[in-house]
Amino acid sequence: MCGIVGYVGRSEAAPILLDGLRRLEYRGYDSAGVAIVDGDHIETRKCAGRIAELGKLMAAKPPTGTYGISHTRWATHGKPTDQNAHPHFDASGKLALVHNGVIENYQALKDQLILDGDRNFSSETDTEVLAHLIGKLYDASASEAPAASNGNAAATLPNKKGRLVDAVRAALRQVIGTYGIALVHSDIPDFIVGARRGSPLVLGVGKDENFLASDVSAIVAHTRDAVYLNDFDVVAVERDKFEISSVAGEAGNYQLSKVEFTDADIKKGDYPHYMLKEIFEQPGSVRDAMRGRLSPEECTAKLGGLNMTPAQLRDVGRIVLTGCGTALHAGMIGEYLIEQLAQIPTEVEYASEFRHRNTPMTRDTLVFAISQSGETADTLGALRESRRKGYRTLGICNNVASTIARESDGGVYMHAGPEIGVAATKSFTSQVAILTTIGLLLGRMRHLSTSEGTRIIDALEALPAQIEEVLKLSDQIKAIAKKYASVPGMLFFGRQFNFPVALEAALKLKEITYLFAEGHPSAELKHGIIALVRPDLPSVFIAPDDAVFSKNVNNIEQVRARKGPVIAITSGKGAKHLAKIADDIVTIPNVPDYVSPILTVIPLQLLAYHLAVELGRDVDKPRNLAKSVTVE
Ligand code: M6R
């Protein structure tokens, strides 16, 4: 949800900022802009539309200067117009600011600024109000005592710099809401200020140059040394140094980390889209999710990151899995997995609901917050609420050092590598693989025998090669997508472990093709959904050769009887049977039911992908969406 990049160094800022924005475009693509300080004035280029549009503007009239800030927007307050595009300025026009987040009390702040005589607003955004407020406080401080005498952390900065940092702090103390911000002032050379609360912000530490970004992928081409800022951190950044303090004015602590991936990992390579690349990365990402976590000797899983003793794990009496979107669907499979393998009552909660309702919890409840980005506002809110109430809360995250990862009591990293495509693919299969290892670990501490543990490990270890087999079906699935390219939508059905896969398949289709899609438990068909069945609306059945195969066949027959086309994802003996009654079948390797979602989802990711390409959609940047949803 919006991406920001800042640079201060000796190189021209424009290409660095533009390249950084391109890498953050997955966070929002409604408008984009840069502000680069050139001598005593700020050069701004901004416009509605994609970063490519901004690139054209910058190419036509290149801004020069060696420090600046930039932004790619996912609109919250105000339409995606040129005027609402960031950066925004204060009343003096000397301070430019970019912002990711929502200033909830912006109207009250704006009203006060207007009462004080400031009527010079040119956008509908909450961000511009913050720029005006900081600018006003900074200008007012010119006539006050020098910053060096006020005894706070900005005291080490020379006067103007210290005053600007103080003004940022004073303004942020008035703000209700979330922010990741970066700002420059044309009177203060080679100086950027950043701050965060609720929206991610990372400081990239280079040699004679430093960076700010919403996500390290924006800056990893320049440095892999990073400081992940904490909520309420304010950072003053210069070419050769930086100083971190808090909004309250205390000196801050920080830790320098090494980014675990390289620039090469975030390139598309020969793939036309990130989504396709990420679908094809799944043999490796699923392997990495399990690497070092399976113990064939003890027939169990080893998950040291949970930070729980065997006794504590044995005492878990109830589990709550929470997340949003695709992560929620993985959690729904987790419910089946943990209940089947460990017999621990497990519930799945939409993070957005869980955080605001009074879910009955017992003292022995363990909560897992599942999130690829580790920054999703609702999932973070659920995690905080759960911890506030005293429940042990663990994260299942991909982004190392993300807020959820840092604020949880422990957890399991996915190690899936950067996921750039807005439609989540490899993170889903990694999440399900990890939830299987959690089920295995908890099950082996209870009633699962060594042979059952071994069977589960064997099934997990066989997955990467089986995923390779499924990926070979891409061309067949492409042909199916072509055949159904003019349908008005699709229905998806599955049972047991594959019911959440039906939901996930419907979400993928909606997101990137904009077609209507619904996912349901197969048996629900006859309770209402069957009214939708008609000759031009395909039903996709996820019907592997498992314990409920014959039940799925009944439902397929019910659709066929009403002239509804059927596409079936099946395995084993299912192929022969369904060849006679389905219009199209995709046959995948036959595996135990508890690992089947990791295979069945892949043809459906490919179906959504190929259909979206066929329809000419922007696969990696579907309309209205953003990868990381850091607003409520
Ligand atoms: O980063 P997260 O896993 O917390 O993201 C949760 C959802 O926003 C995400 O899965 C979203 O639904 C995807 N675009 C689905 O493809």
Q: What is the CATH number of domain 473-618?
A: 3.40.50.10490
Residue given tokens 């693509």 in the structure block: 29
Quote the CA–CA distance of 275 and 619 in Å, as a whole number: 7
Q: Quick one: pLDDT band at residue 559, thresholds 50, 70, 90?
A: very high
Close Cβ partners of 517 (under 8 Å, ≥ 6 residues apart): 489, 490, 491, 492, 505, 506, 507, 509, 510
Residue given tokens 């904009």 in the structure block: 514
**Substitution candidate for ligand 1 out of 273, 372, 378 with most atoms within 8 A of CB:** 372
pLDDT score at 227: 96
Quote the CA–CA distance of 256 and 203 in Å, as a whole number: 9
Question: Quick one: average pLDDT of 281-292?
Answer: 97
Q: What is the CATH number of domain 268-470?
A: 3.40.50.10490
Q: Quick one: pLDDT band at residue 145, thresholds 50, 70, 90?
A: low
Whether 478 is catalytic is no
Whether 627 is catalytic is yes
Close Cβ partners of 555 (under 8 Å, ≥ 6 residues apart): 493, 522, 523, 525, 526, 541
- Return the sign of the alpha-carbon dihedral for residues 414, 415, 421, 422: positive
Model pLDDT for residues 564-616, shown as the tens digit of each residue: 999 999 999 999 999 999 999 999 999 999 999 999 999 999 999 999 999 99
Q: Quick one: pLDDT band at residue 466, thresholds 50, 70, 90?
A: very high
Residue 326 CA to ligand 1 center (angstroms) comes to 5
> Are 303 and 394 within 8 A, CB to CB?
no
Backbone angles phi, psi at 65, to 5 degrees: 145, 160
Q: Three-class SS of residue 630?
A: coil
pLDDT at position 296 over 60: yes
Residue of 80, 239, 160, 20 lying closest to 624 (CA atoms): 80
pLDDT score at 152: 54
Query: How many Cα neighbours within 13 Å face the side chain of 508?
Result: 29
pLDDT at position 156 over 70: no
Residue 267 tokens read as: 């390139």
pLDDT at position 153 over 60: no
pLDDT at position 487 over 90: yes
Close Cβ partners of 405 (under 8 Å, ≥ 6 residues apart): 374, 395, 397, 399, 411, 413
Q: Three-class SS of residue 151?
A: coil
pLDDT at position 631 over 90: no
Q: Quick one: pLDDT band at residue 111, thresholds 50, 70, 90?
A: very high
Q: Three-class SS of residue 357?
A: coil
Question: Quick one: average pLDDT of 227-240?
Answer: 96
Q: Quick one: pLDDT band at residue 154, thresholds 50, 70, 90?
A: low
Q: How many CB atoms lie within 10 A of CB 296?
A: 11
- What is the pTM for the complete model shown? 0.86
Residue 179 tokens read as: 């922010």
pLDDT score at 325: 97
Ligand 1 lined by 424 (C-beta under 6 Å): yes
pLDDT score at 429: 98
Q: Give strand pairing partners of 508.
A: none
The catalytically annotated residue of 160, 426, 510, 627 is 627
Quote the CA–CA distance of 24 and 425 in Å, as a whole number: 18
Where do runs of H (alpha helix) occur along 268-347? 274-280, 282-290, 310-314, 325-342
- Give CA torsion, residues 370, 199, 618, 505, to 10 deg: 20
Model pLDDT for residues 125-142, shown as the tens digit of each residue: 999 999 999 999 999 998
Domain boundaries, the chain: 3-262, 268-470, 473-618
Quote the CA–CA distance of 410 and 417 in Å, as a whole number: 20
Ligand 1 lined by 266 (C-beta under 6 Å): no
Same fold, 3-262 and 473-618: no
3-262 placed in CATH 3.60.20.10: yes
pLDDT at position 632 over 90: no
Q: Quick one: pLDDT band at residue 148, thresholds 50, 70, 90?
A: very low
Quote the CA–CA distance of 610 and 613 in Å, as a whole number: 5
Quote the CA–CA distance of 402 and 230 in Å, as a whole number: 10
> Are 437 and 333 within 8 A, CB to CB?
no
**Substitution candidate for ligand 1 out of 326, 375, 619 with most atoms within 8 A of CB:** 326
Distances (CA, A) of 73 to 33, 189, 216: 9, 26, 17
Close Cβ partners of 295 (under 8 Å, ≥ 6 residues apart): 301, 302, 457
Q: Give strand pairing partners of 96.
A: 89, 184
pLDDT score at 626: 80
Question: Quick one: average pLDDT of 265-287?
Answer: 95
pLDDT score at 400: 87
Q: How many CB atoms lie within 10 A of CB 547?
A: 9
Question: Quick one: average pLDDT of 264-291?
Answer: 95
Close Cβ partners of 196 (under 8 Å, ≥ 6 residues apart): 179, 180, 181, 229, 230, 231, 232, 233
More confident residue, 362 or 208: 208
Question: Quick one: average pLDDT of 379-397?
Answer: 95
Ligand 1 lined by 404 (C-beta under 6 Å): no
Q: CB-based burial of residue 82 (10 Å sphere; 0-12 exposed, 13-18 middle, 19+ buried)?
A: middle
Model pLDDT for residues 537-556, shown as the tens digit of each residue: 999 999 999 999 999 999 99
- Round the average pLDDT of the chain to a whole number and report it: 94
Question: Quick one: average pLDDT of 268-283?
Answer: 96
Question: Quick one: average pLDDT of 425-430?
Answer: 98
Quote the CA–CA distance of 504 and 423 in Å, as a whole number: 10
Q: What percent of the chain has pLDDT over 90?
A: 88
pLDDT score at 262: 86
Question: Quick one: average pLDDT of 161-169?
Answer: 97
- Return the sign of the alpha-carbon dihedral for residues 463, 464, 465, 468: positive
pLDDT at position 163 over 50: yes
pLDDT at position 147 over 60: no
Q: Whose CA is nearest to atom 9 of ligand 1?
A: 325
Quote the CA–CA distance of 513 and 608 in Å, as a whole number: 7
Cis peptide before 296 (omega within 30 of 0): no
pLDDT at position 474 over 90: yes
Ligand 1 lined by 373 (C-beta under 6 Å): yes
Q: Is 460 left (phi over 0), alpha (psi -120 to 50) or beta?
A: alpha
Residue given tokens 């869980």 in the structure block: 354
Q: Three-class SS of residue 30?
A: coil
Residue 269 tokens read as: 């390579």
Residue 602 CA to ligand 1 center (angstroms) comes to 17
**Substitution candidate for ligand 1 out of 214, 321, 322, 324 with most atoms within 8 A of CB:** 324
